[in-house]
Structure 1
Amino acid sequence: MDIGVISVRYARALLKSATEAKVEVQVYADMQLLAKSYVDVPSLRHTIDNPMLAKEKKQMLLETAAGGDQSAALSRSFITLVLKEGRESMIQFMVNSYVTLYRQQKNIILGKLTTATRVSAAMEQKMRKVVEAKTQGTVEFETQVDPEIIGGFVLEYDTYRMDASVKSRLNDILQTLKK
């Protein structure tokens, strides 16, 4: 069976269970943390995939990566089930599938604002409201400082990208002058 199919089945089952237990927000936070752990600690995947490592150790590692004692009981039960079924090599895909399904269910859009200097919380909130008004959804916003853009901002969400940076304007002028 395909990794994608299996991952989505597990993720759907987890989302359904979390929704019925009314803990889907906490499980979502746990799965985001676990997904981030896989990205931040690349050796986690190799460690979990190691057949010589005992299931108990894998359980402890995965639970810690998902928030430890602060994680939902359902998240810990999910990890136990995945390990019991011998599907630990697919857990990263399951976690990412859960995050995607949850966002679809709750109409959550990922947004990213890149600026040359740090923006105030009020400005970030204003940009969030603009995106929410356009998408009719909730926005999870990530802000990033990139001095390379010189000034202005770059706003990205879904497939939309608005580049109002000084760097892009200067590049446009340079291209015009080359013609």
Structure 2
Amino acid sequence: MDIGVISVRYARALLKSATDTNIEDTVYANMQLLAKSYIEVPALRHTIDNPMLAKEKKLMLLETAVGGDSASPLTKAFIALVLKEDRENMIQFMANSYITLYRKQKNVIRGKLTTAVAVAPETEQKMRHMVESRTKGIVEFETEVDPEIIGGFVLEYDTYRMDASVKSKLNSILNTLKK
């Protein structure tokens, strides 16, 4: 069977269980942490995929990757089930599938605000509220400082991109002058 199909089935079952017990937000945070762990520690994948490593050690590693003692009991039970069924090589995909399904269910949109200098929390909050009012959803907002844009900002969410940076304005003027 296809990795994508299996991952989505496990993720859907986890989301249903989490929703039924009203802890889907906690499990979402656990799955985000797991996905982040796989990205930040590439050796985690090789270690978990190693058939010579005992299941108990894999369980310990994965529980640590989802937050250790602060992980929900459902998340821990899910990891144990995945290991029992010998599907540990797909757990990263399951975590990403859960994140996607959760965002779809909760109408969560990811947004990013890039500025030349750090902005005040009030400004960031205003931008978040603007995006939320336009999308009628919840926005997970990420801010980034990029001095290369010189000034202004770049706002991205969903498929929308607003580039109000000084750099893009200067490039536009330069391109007009070249014609």
Query: Normalising by the residue count of structure 2, what TM-score does the alignment of the two structures yield?
Result: 0.99
Shift of 1:161: 0.6
Shift of 1:100: 0.5
* 2:97 paired residue number: 97
Please state if 1:133 is matched with 2:133. Answer: yes
User: Which aligned pairs between 1:15-54 and structure 2 lie closer than 5 A?
Assistant: 15-54=15-54
SS, match of residue 155 in structure 2: strand
SS, match of residue 118 in structure 1: coil
2:41 maps to a residue whose letter is: V
Distance 1:159 1:64 in 2: 34
SS, match of residue 22 in structure 2: coil
Distance 2:167 2:47 in 1: 42
Shift of 1:177: 1.1
Distance 1:37 1:101 in 2: 19
Structure 1 unaligned regions, length at least 5? none
* 2:116 paired residue number: 116
Shift of 1:51: 1.0
SS, match of residue 18 in structure 1: helix
Give the count of matched residue pairs.
Answer: 179
Deviations 1:24-50 (A, max 9, x none): 110011001111111111111111111
Q: Which moved more, 1:118-127 or 1:43-52?
A: 43-52
Please state if 1:66 is matched with 2:85. Answer: no
Query: Normalising by the residue count of structure 1, what TM-score does the alignment of the two structures yield?
Result: 0.99
Q: Say what the alpha-carbon RMSD is for the aligned residues.
A: 0.6
1:135 maps to a residue whose letter is: T
Deviations 1:147-178 (A, max 9, x none): 11111111000111111111111111111111
* 1:12 paired residue number: 12
SS, match of residue 118 in structure 2: coil
Distance 1:117 1:52 in 2: 49
Deviations 1:56-100 (A, max 9, x none): 111111110100000100000000000110001100000000000
Shift of 1:135: 0.2
Distance 1:26 1:137 in 2: 19
SS, match of residue 82 in structure 1: helix
User: How much identity, in percent, do the aligned residues show?
Assistant: 76
Distance 1:172 1:88 in 2: 50
2:159 maps to a residue whose letter is: T
* 2:56 paired residue number: 56
Which 4+ runs in 1 deviate beyond 4 A? none
2:58 maps to a residue whose letter is: K
